[in-house]
Amino acid sequence: MKHSRVWQAVLACVILASLVLSSCAAPATPTPAPATKAPVATTAPVATAAPTAANPASITIAYSGYATSNDYWNGLGKAAAAEAAAKGVKFVDLTTETQDASAQKQAIDTVITQKPSAIIIGSVDPNVFKDTIAKAKAAGIPILAADTAIDDPYISALVQTDNLATAQALGDYICKLLNGAKGTALVMAGTVGHQTGDARQKGVADKLAACGENVIKQYGDWDENKSVQISTDTMTANPDLNVIFAPFDPGAAAVASLVKQKGMTSKIMVFGIDGLPVMFKAIKAGDSVATMKQDNVRIGTETVDDAIAILNGQPVKTPDLIPGILIDKTNVGKYLP
């Protein structure tokens, strides 16, 4: 029995240690401070009440992105942190490693009590922030949305890839490649109700339908397993399938390698959106045709700039739509190391 006491203690330590490690040791982010450790910046004057130019050193911007385990968001967060450093303002990163809507909301709710000057949210689920926004409003803290819109009039600014326009551009590009050939296109979205995935699906699907494709819409849930499964089943269900679009590059890359295994690469073109290395390699190898790279660095930078501008009482453009960059075989070399 004493023996098991020791075990219990050891185990408790291991569990605690692993939990602590897992919550703050994502290597990609240098200071992913948990909410409780966030530097307190209570001295910052309430932004909206102080339209005069604020001293940059007294500004603290709290940022919570989608997940640090995601390349795209990791780059966005880094760019935002770099811009904050360049402008001499304090920057607190609350992002969790994996996407977790409730953890994100909790972290933001907590940080509001510490009164940062402004909050930037790259939301996992844009629909959960109703009372968070009310609290921020009461505390006079402006909120900016990065990448994904939050539907609330209090949101001071939205900086995002123009997902619809980007997807439409990709759709036009695909139609051009099809060059009048008709077939079936599988166009996937993300999870149900996720604005980004929906816009990407709509942009591509509308254009493809307009140029004569038979469009099948599915939800891939941002999950490679599911995207692959849907794709392979759709392939056999629709022998005339000639286009697969996944709204995220890891999914598109996974689908591309399956299409290759089935020896269908010459018949089925695979497209993604995000602009991640895994997809660049697939494009270079000819497994996949094209992706749209979002300008995550510009989004991160401009959101921080907008936050500072708002705190200084200057007007900002919202929504600030950043266009995507098409990457195919012709220009992929530029993005590969």
Partner 1 sequence: MTTLATRFKKVQLAPQVRDILPPLVGLVLITAVIGILAPTFRQWAAIANVFENASILFIMATGMTVALIANCLDLSVGSTYALVSVVTGQLLINQVPVPLAVLGGLVAGILCGVVNGLIVTQTGIPALIATLGTQLAFRGVANMIGAAVDMSRFPPEFDILGSGTWGPVINCIIAFGVVWFFLNKTKLGFHAFAIGGNEEVARLAGIPVNRNKIIYYAICGLMAGLAGIVYTARVDMAAVNRGQGMELWAIAGVVVGGTSLVGGVGSVVKTIIGVLIISVLQAGMIHLHVPSFWQQVATGALIIVAVWLDFLQRKTRA
Map the footprint of partner 1 across residues 283-302, applying CB under 8 A. Answer: 285
By CB under 8 A, is residue 67 in contact with partner 1? yes
By CB under 8 A, is residue 192 in contact with partner 1? yes
Residue from the set 56, 223, 267, 309 that interacts with partner 1 by CB under 8 A: 223
Map the footprint of partner 1 across residues 140-169, applying CB under 8 A. Answer: none
Q: Phi first, then psi: what are they for 151, rounded to 5°? A: -80, 85
Map the footprint of partner 1 across residues 71-90, applying CB under 8 A. Answer: 71, 74
Residue from the set 101, 281, 318, 323 that interacts with partner 1 by CB under 8 A: 281
By CB under 8 A, is residue 181 in contact with partner 1? no
Map the footprint of partner 1 across residues 94-133, applying CB under 8 A. Answer: 97-99
Peptide bond into 319 cis (omega under 30): yes
Residue 137 CB, nearest approach to partner 1 (Å): 32
Side-chain-side CA neighbours of residue 252 (13 Å): 33
Report strand pairing: 320-322 vs 269-274: unpaired
Candidates 195, 79, 177, 61; CA nearest to 121 is 61
Question: 134: Cβ–Cβ under 8 A, 6 or more apart, which residues?
Answer: none
DSSP 8-state code for residue 147: S
Residue from the set 13, 14, 46, 134 that interacts with partner 1 by CB under 8 A: 14
Judge contact between 291 and 253, C-beta under 8 A. Answer: no
Which CB atom, from 130 or from 217, has the smaller least distance to partner 1? Answer: 217
By CB under 8 A, is residue 31 in contact with partner 1? no
By CB under 8 A, is residue 250 in contact with partner 1? yes
Burial of 186 (0-12, 13-18, 19+ CB in 10 A): buried
Question: 13: Cβ–Cβ under 8 A, 6 or more apart, which residues?
Answer: none
Residue 326 CB, nearest approach to partner 1 (Å): 21
By CB under 8 A, is residue 191 in contact with partner 1? no
Residue 271 CB, nearest approach to partner 1 (Å): 17
How many residues touch partner 1 under the rule CB under 8 A: the total is: 56
**What's the CA dihedral at 4, 10, 16, 22 to 10 degrees?**
-120
By CB under 8 A, is residue 1 in contact with partner 1? no
Residue 232 CB, nearest approach to partner 1 (Å): 5
Residue from the set 238, 309, 326, 328 that interacts with partner 1 by CB under 8 A: 238
Residue from the set 106, 229, 312, 318 that interacts with partner 1 by CB under 8 A: 229
By CB under 8 A, is residue 19 in contact with partner 1? yes
Residue from the set 254, 270, 289, 307 that interacts with partner 1 by CB under 8 A: 254
Residue from the set 114, 257, 312, 318 that interacts with partner 1 by CB under 8 A: 257
Radius of gyration from C-alpha coordinates of the chain: 22
Judge contact between 62 and 111, C-beta under 8 A. Answer: yes
Judge contact between 157 and 145, C-beta under 8 A. Answer: yes
Interface ranges with partner 1 (CB under 8 A): 4, 7-8, 11-12, 14-15, 18-19, 21-23, 25-28, 67-71, 74, 97-99, 192, 216, 218-219, 222-225, 228-230, 232-239, 250, 253-254, 257-258, 261, 276-278, 281-282, 285
